[in-house]
Structure 1
Amino acid sequence: MLVLAIFVFAFVSTVLPFTAGRVHGLQRERHEELAQRARGDVGIHKRAFYGARFTFYDVGLGACGQYNSPDDFIVALNVAQFGIGYPGPNCFQTITITYGGNTAQATIMDKCMGCPWGGLDFSRGLFNHFASEDVGVVYGSWSFDDGPSEPTSSY
């Protein structure tokens, strides 16, 4: 029994420093990421998204309480970012969208129930500004107009 205890102690003593080093390495990587944010490389308040999924929908009475037509340059913001309350805290905010070398400004007028974080549903007119409806889904970048325009990754 004593031999087994010595073996376990020796094994743990040998493996533990390597495990702790890996955890410390992960902590260092996280610290470096936070340090970049503090320098302004990645702003906490950046409010910009890269690789965001864009789809289109049939507009009408939106979650912001106003009617829109298909030709209006409006978007439905994903539920997670839309926020709670009526109207949502991001209602009527303007955003700048970029896809395929084209840029347009649009207004948040609705919420998208099936969109992922960073994702937007476009009015048909806005989607057609960027691509044919036959494409169905495109991925691009967008940012709130009140924040910096350099995009970050979306989740």
Structure 2
Amino acid sequence: MKFSSALLGLAAVAVATVSATTPVSDDAALAVRDTHESGLVNLGLRAHERKARHVQQQSSSEDLEKRNFVSKWGKLTYYAGHQLDNPACGGPTPTDNDMVVAVKENGGYGKCGDTVHIHWKGKMVSATIRDYCEGCEWGHYDATKGLFRKLDSLSMGVLDGIHFKLIEH
């Protein structure tokens, strides 16, 4: 008991000494000091709180790049042959082996020229949006056969539950 009382007394003296010799701002006048990280920091400003402030400041920055959109509940089908003719985004007609996809026009999950990373069972492919798909709903990508084959067998027909990451341009 005497030992713990002496230890607490020593700790109180140390805190008082640090508080007296280290200037603190008005906001932190009552904060206890901690030496857990390099240098002395206020207990009220732990690393995770400083990180949150840093992220908040970054997100309010005007020159911050567009954020990438990630979803876990997409769907992938494929289209081929003459269905690839005259892509809505213009340019040459893609082949069955090109890494391109079609999406719902104004569907909110990609537009012409955007890149999408599609993940399925540990595999990932990168594709460019080159066309629009009339029958597609939100999160539904219609891919070329070559792209679909990189993820699974064509006999699957539909891959439900793909993860996709949209990289807006």
Which residue of structure 2 lines up, in the alignment, with residue 126 of structure 1? Answer: 147
Task: Using the TM superposition, give the Cα deviation of residue 94 of structure 1 relative to its aligned residue in structure 2, in angstroms.
Answer: 1.1
1:76, 1:146 → 2: CA distance?
15
Which residue of structure 1 lines up, in the alignment, with residue 85 of structure 2? Answer: 60
Structure 2 residue 98 is matched with structure 1 residue 72: yes
Task: Using the TM superposition, give the Cα deviation of residue 51 of structure 1 relative to its aligned residue in structure 2, in angstroms.
Answer: 1.4
Which residue of structure 2 lines up, in the alignment, with residue 90 of structure 1? Answer: 111
2:164 is paired with a residue of what secondary structure? Answer: strand
Amino acid in structure 1 at the alignment position of 2:74: A
TM-score normalised by length of structure 1: 0.58
Amino acid in structure 1 at the alignment position of 2:72: Y
Structure 2 residue 167 is matched with structure 1 residue 141: no
Q: Figure out how many residues of one structure are paired with residues of the other and give that number.
A: 102
Task: Using the TM superposition, give the Cα deviation of residue 60 of structure 1 relative to its aligned residue in structure 2, in angstroms.
Answer: 2.6
Aligned-pair identity (%): 28
Amino acid in structure 2 at the alignment position of 1:106: A
Which residue of structure 1 lines up, in the alignment, with residue 131 of structure 2? Answer: 110
Structure 1: 5+ residue runs without aligned partners?
1-38, 84-88, 148-155
Amino acid in structure 2 at the alignment position of 1:62: P
TM-score normalised by length of structure 2: 0.53
1:126, 1:113 → 2: CA distance?
20
Task: Using the TM superposition, give the Cα deviation of residue 82 of structure 1 relative to its aligned residue in structure 2, in angstroms.
Answer: 6.7
Runs of 4+ in 1 over 3 A off after TM superposition: none
Structure 2: 5+ residue runs without aligned partners?
1-55, 60-66
Structure 2 residue 77 is matched with structure 1 residue 51: no
1:125, 1:55 → 2: CA distance?
12
Task: Using the TM superposition, give the Cα deviation of residue 109 of structure 1 relative to its aligned residue in structure 2, in angstroms.
Answer: 0.2
1:49, 1:103 → 2: CA distance?
14
Task: Using the TM superposition, give the Cα deviation of residue 146 of structure 1 relative to its aligned residue in structure 2, in angstroms.
Answer: 4.2
Structure 2 residue 122 is matched with structure 1 residue 101: yes
Describe the shift of the 1:108–1:82 C-alpha distance in structure 2 as closer, same or farther (beyond 3 A): farther
Amino acid in structure 1 at the alignment position of 2:95: S
Higher RCO (C-alpha under 8 Å, 6+ residues apart): 1
1:79, 1:145 → 2: CA distance?
17
Describe the shift of the 1:146–1:65 C-alpha distance in structure 2 as closer, same or farther (beyond 3 A): closer
Task: Using the TM superposition, give the Cα deviation of residue 80 of structure 1 relative to its aligned residue in structure 2, in angstroms.
Answer: 3.6
1:72 is paired with a residue of what secondary structure? Answer: coil
